[in-house]
Chains A and B, each alone.
Chain A
Amino acid sequence: MKRPMDPSEEARRLESDAKEEILSAKSLEDLEAVRVKYLGRKGLLTGLLRKLGEAGPDERRELGRFLNAAKSALSAEIDARKAALKAARDEASLHEESVDITLPGRAREIGSRHPTIKMMREIMEVFLGMGFTSIEGPEIETEYNNFDALNTPEWHPSRDEHDSFYVADGLVLRTHTSPAQIRVMKSQPAPVRVIVPGRCHRRDTPDASHVISFYQVEGLYVDYEVSMADLKGTLAAFAREIFGTETRVRFRPHFFPFTEPSAELDISCLVCGGKGCRLCKNSGWVEVLGCGMVHPNVFRHAGYDPRSVTGFAFGMGVERLALLKYGIENMRVLYDNDLRFLKQFQGMHA
């Protein structure tokens, strides 16, 4: 007759079998099966614990201690093994989930600002930082504001460069944004520190450097004791801000009916740096804007006393600056509105 197995021996054998199976479990599922087999409600170790009552009191205490120790040891083994298997599985699944990051993303389409407007806004920003506020004037302007009040009477030869479109008697499409000088001075006392961006129109035949409708930024600063030195400081700083700190500037005499003294501002050629090239017609300099001290007659027309205030004014063609800055050779390209051209101005960089 077969003698029943010694319970403590059976327990030891179970423990060592279980340990072996835990270590050899290849997956979380296998491991779970091992746990159920030994520690589950109907598990082998659980069965031994349940049969503990059948043993004698001494044996029961000793066996009980042994079984409980084995149970917690196995639980710990299972947990450890579980962690290891889980880590391995996670790693495998991360690997499987990898994507080809070189595929293009779902980029949001972005548009672009027209280069003329981009240039205009850059100009505005610089002057804004220097304390100029931007205002506007109408495109349909009185002939008086556009010419006469700016010291350019009907017979004045400089009207030749301002051939204008008429929409009624005494009403023209403004040929420059300068008439806003008159409007702003008539509307408020000094000090005035404004820029006036806007579209202007001249009755010219378009060519590589002229279009009929173009943008200008006018500027005016009137206060007590504003001098030519302020004009130079302001506009030289502007030119360096737009074209780079290395840019050299030159003011040379010129003529505008509404300023006296008048000047034009040249910058060192952006292409050759002053050595002479086609862009600067070998002079090393390119013209950027016109400026000067406000003519006393303009103050009189605007109702200011030229004996008490002084001021400077300037005006620049936005397209011309855009051409210089972006290296565009023909102004008409700006108004062809070809998306392949326009998209090149998508970036924030100037």
Chain B
Amino acid sequence: MRVPFRWLQDFVKIDVAPEELCAQLIMLGFGDAEVLPNEWEMLDSFVAGRVTAVEPHPSAPDLKVVRVNLGFAQHTSVCGAPNVEKGRIYAVALPGARLPSGDLVEQAEISGVPSECILCSGWEAWIDDSREELMALDDNAAPGSNLIEVLGLDEPVIEIEVTPNRPDCLGLIGIARELAAVYGKELLIPEPSLAAETSEHTGAARVEVEDVEGCPRYGALVCDRVEVRRSAAQVRARLRLAGLRPINNVVDATNIVLFETGHPLHAFDLARIEGQTVVVRRGRTGEKIKAIDGNEYELDQDDVVIADLEKPIAIAGIIGGENSEVDFSTTQILLEGAFFNHARIRRTSKRLGISTEASYRFERGVDVGAVLYVLARAASLIRSTSRCPFHAGRIDIYPEPRPPRRIFADPKRINRLLGTSIPEQEMCDYLERLGFLVSPGKELEIVVPTRRIDVEGEADIAEEILRLYGYDRVSEQAKASTRCYGRRDGSLFSIGRIEEALIGMGITQVLTDTMVGPTSLDRFRIGRRGAVRVRNPLGVETSFLRPSMTPGIVEVMARNLNRGSERVAVFEIGKVFAAGEEGFRERYALAVGLCGLDRPRSWHSKPREVDFFDVEGVVESLTRLLGVRVVFGTDGPAGLHPGRRATVMLPGAGGEAAIGHLGEVLPAIVEAMDIAHKVFVAEVDLDALMERIPEGLRYEKTPRFPGLKRDLAVIVPRSVREADVRRIIAPEGAPLLGSLELFDVYTGERIPEGTVSLAYRLVFQSDERTLHEDEVNDLQKKIELGVAKRLGGRLRSS
């Protein structure tokens, strides 16, 4: 909301600088209040000029040669405007001035006559779009004075934010009321020269309200013998300060009232209303209206429509129709001042995608009690611009008058809520200054002005009191409570630990988009069937909630490699989503991506490219941190290399449950993304892992007796998996085999083709005694035999 500083003073006289007023407005709840920089620099080379002579142009019959007194000089101008008049004062653009067309004014010769300046229309002077006639200025304006000052455009304008609960402050008077209350000043509300009680309309015009739910109150003034023309230059300039577009004296008057009171009005050309009858009704399916913005809108049953006997003439509270618009030929108008159902207005405005000054206010709620006042005020303004006074006849349809709301409020309870001790009398004073009627009693009985639709209960009353008392005067205290204390539990805390562990492993956290598109899902061979679809996405490439974080994290890797990173190690923890038969499921997932070098370049040792076992190792370390045992299965999603992928599984009573996967991203995908390295990812269901975090940590005794170490190398066919070897060694060595550690894997010339040598360090251990060499030797033989027999392996001769 724009607040022109001098205009505001029409309603409350406050002698402070605009900047100070801003500070006060902020503390009243009008955030971001600031003085706008002057927006009229382009008028620097425009001045007021008095026409001292008008002569016909010697060769062009449509033009005139005009002498202009600029105070500091006399200029000649060639002018084509029909309304140039000797003795009047107009806006003049001097050489160097820029016109809205982009042209610079310069001295020129027009059909043989030199022209030194331009007499301006409203359009040329940047005020509005009137091009047909010159913009006459006030007769008292001094020739030569700058147009900015003449039109009052040097007035400071404050811009404030008005929160949605305060439609009463979407008008200058509302803001003035707040300031009057806080500064203890009188609020000056202009009295219409036409009383609100203007006599009952007795003419031919009629109003019928069929849709009372949509229009609880409809007021109208019918004005005859209206003269429609351009408003005076000062009025037009004022409207510009308000951010409004000058049209004609009738529309401008309704806009001025809207801007002052916050209550929108509409003017119809009564002659263009069929049957002189206004019908307020619901829209009819298929019905269309061409609005004054030039667009055609299709109406429906939910809309409140202003119609005549034949057709819609306005979308109520939102925009008028072209078919009933007031223009310069209009002589009889019907001024509408109404109270529409805010929810209905909002729905229609949303559905049709139209937001206007009117709809913005009606959907927030206007003052039902102000209907007749605003009509009378607008009519007075129009009448003051007409040469002959007219009479206005009133129509007011208000079948179920709404009494002002009554609230009971307990000052003690308010003080408890605020943590203050404001005396009751002070509370009453604040409320009365804001226009509430207060009767003391055990509880305060408060009558809420109808404009304050936001004040519904005691809490709202508390806020009103607090705003005037001052938020800054409430003390700062903090209550300790032994009944609630900060608990370190829940998945966020486990996640915090996981983040720290991964960071310690040299992996950096990233955050990617929750919403993904078909291109990236298809690329990673992720089906869309189980994905959650967004019904109203911003674009097709953000139309799904991510079912997996792998695409996002690989894209991050690609981007960083592109920018010259040699080593990318990243992880993300966030939600992934799935649509199932039981509805939507969201789970915390962890994705890890490794690519490029395994460590930074250094003089100590040469880094190598990361491989499968790096990413597998990250998952192993992490599960160790969580204390959860997982096993790896030989399978995985289609987006991973079939020979270098694994399913991460949780062992359980009913078998193993897959909770994720890891491996190398399919080379075709990587190539398509212009990545020149192998890319490795892991993605696991973090919720599933966190559910398994064991509780109740108990220690185990460390061994008292020395263990016996044995190294053992077995040669097995390459088809045998290492896990199978391990699975044989462990039970064969039981119960004395304390640990089993693979320390070498060899394939090459020194062993037969098609075989692999696996070297283990075994540690045998007993809790009760020192072991004998002999018994350990026996065990080792038993292990060797087992491996040989069951896997076709043999010992590697040393």
Q: Does A263 contact B (CB under 8 A)?
A: yes
Of chain B, the residue at the smallest CB distance from A251 is: B471
- Are B535's CB and A223's CB within 8 A? no
Given contacts A166-B535, A229-B418, contact A201 B462 (CB under 8 A): no
- Are A191's CB and B492's CB within 8 A? no
Q: Does A237 contact B (CB under 8 A)?
A: yes
Residues from chain A with a CB closer than 8 A to the CB of B489 are 133
Residues from chain A with a CB closer than 8 A to the CB of B416 are 225, 227, 310
Q: Does B538 contact A (CB under 8 A)?
A: yes
Q: Does B604 contact A (CB under 8 A)?
A: yes
Q: Does B532 contact A (CB under 8 A)?
A: yes
Mark interface residues in B214-238 (1 if CB within 8 Å of A CB, else 0): 0000000000000000000000000
Mark interface residues in A139-180 (1 if CB within 8 Å of B CB, else 0): 110000000000001111110100001111001010000000
- Are A255's CB and B163's CB within 8 A? yes
Given contacts A113-B499, A157-B164, A166-B535, contact A133 B487 (CB under 8 A): yes
Residues from chain A with a CB closer than 8 A to the CB of B476 are 229, 232-233, 236-237
- Are A114's CB and B511's CB within 8 A? yes
- Are B479's CB and A223's CB within 8 A? yes
- Are A337's CB and B560's CB within 8 A? yes
- Are B417's CB and A342's CB within 8 A? no
- Are B475's CB and A232's CB within 8 A? yes
- Are A133's CB and B467's CB within 8 A? no
Q: How near does chain B come to A306, taking the closest CB pair, in angstroms?
A: 8
- Are A261's CB and B492's CB within 8 A? no
Interface residues on B, range: 35 or more
Bound Cα distance from A160 to B32, whole angstroms: 18
Bound Cα distance from A295 to B417, whole angstroms: 11
Residues from chain A with a CB closer than 8 A to the CB of B388 are none
Given contacts A109-B600, A110-B504, A155-B346, contact A226 B459 (CB under 8 A): no
**A229 partner, pick from B342, B346, B419, B483, beta carbons under 8 A:** B419
Mark interface residues in B417-429 (1 if CB within 8 Å of A CB, else 0): 1111000000000
Within 8 A of A (CB), among B435-461: 457-460
Bound Cα distance from A192 to B471, whole angstroms: 25
Within 8 A of B (CB), among A242-285: 250-255, 257, 260-264, 281-283
Bound Cα distance from A139 to B534, whole angstroms: 13
Within 8 A of A (CB), among B452-493: 457-460, 462-463, 466-467, 471-472, 474-481, 483-493
Within 8 A of B (CB), among A121-135: 121, 124, 127-135
- Are B466's CB and A228's CB within 8 A? yes
**B419 partner, pick from A124, A230, A257, A336, beta carbons under 8 A:** A230
Residues from chain A with a CB closer than 8 A to the CB of B467 are 253, 261
Bound Cα distance from A138 to B545, whole angstroms: 13
Q: Does B353 contact A (CB under 8 A)?
A: no
Q: Does B281 contact A (CB under 8 A)?
A: no
Interface centre among B343, B478, B493 (most CB of A within 10 A): B478
Bound Cα distance from A111 to B475, whole angstroms: 43
Bound Cα distance from A133 to B458, whole angstroms: 30
- Are A234's CB and B574's CB within 8 A? no
Which stretch of A44-52, A64-72, A86-94, A100-108 is in the interface? A100-108
Bound Cα distance from A53 to B545, whole angstroms: 108
Mark interface residues in A207-240 (1 if CB within 8 Å of B CB, else 0): 0000011000000000101111110111011000
- Are B536's CB and A165's CB within 8 A? yes
- Are A263's CB and B471's CB within 8 A? yes
Q: Does A116 contact B (CB under 8 A)?
A: yes
- Are A111's CB and B503's CB within 8 A? yes
Q: Does B145 contact A (CB under 8 A)?
A: no
**A140 partner, pick from B32, B342, B584, beta carbons under 8 A:** B584
Bound Cα distance from A234 to B477, whole angstroms: 7
Mark interface residues in A179-206 (1 if CB within 8 Å of B CB, else 0): 0000000000001110001010101010
Given contacts A229-B420, A251-B472, contact A114 B510 (CB under 8 A): yes
Q: How near does chain B come to A85, taking the closest CB pair, in angstroms?
A: 36
- Are A129's CB and B486's CB within 8 A? yes
- Are B418's CB and A227's CB within 8 A? yes
- Are A212's CB and B515's CB within 8 A? yes
Bound Cα distance from A212 to B346, whole angstroms: 24
Residues from chain B with a CB closer than 8 A to the CB of A335 are 511-513
Residues from chain A with a CB closer than 8 A to the CB of B536 are 165-166, 203
- Are A254's CB and B31's CB within 8 A? yes
Known A201-B515, A227-B419; further 7 A-B contacts with Cβ < 8 A: A114-B509, A131-B481, A167-B545, A237-B476, A255-B29, A283-B26, A283-B34
**12 A/B residue pairs, CB under 8 Å, sorted by A:** A131-B481, A155-B363, A157-B363, A199-B514, A228-B466, A230-B477, A232-B476, A261-B463, A261-B466, A282-B34, A337-B559, A338-B559
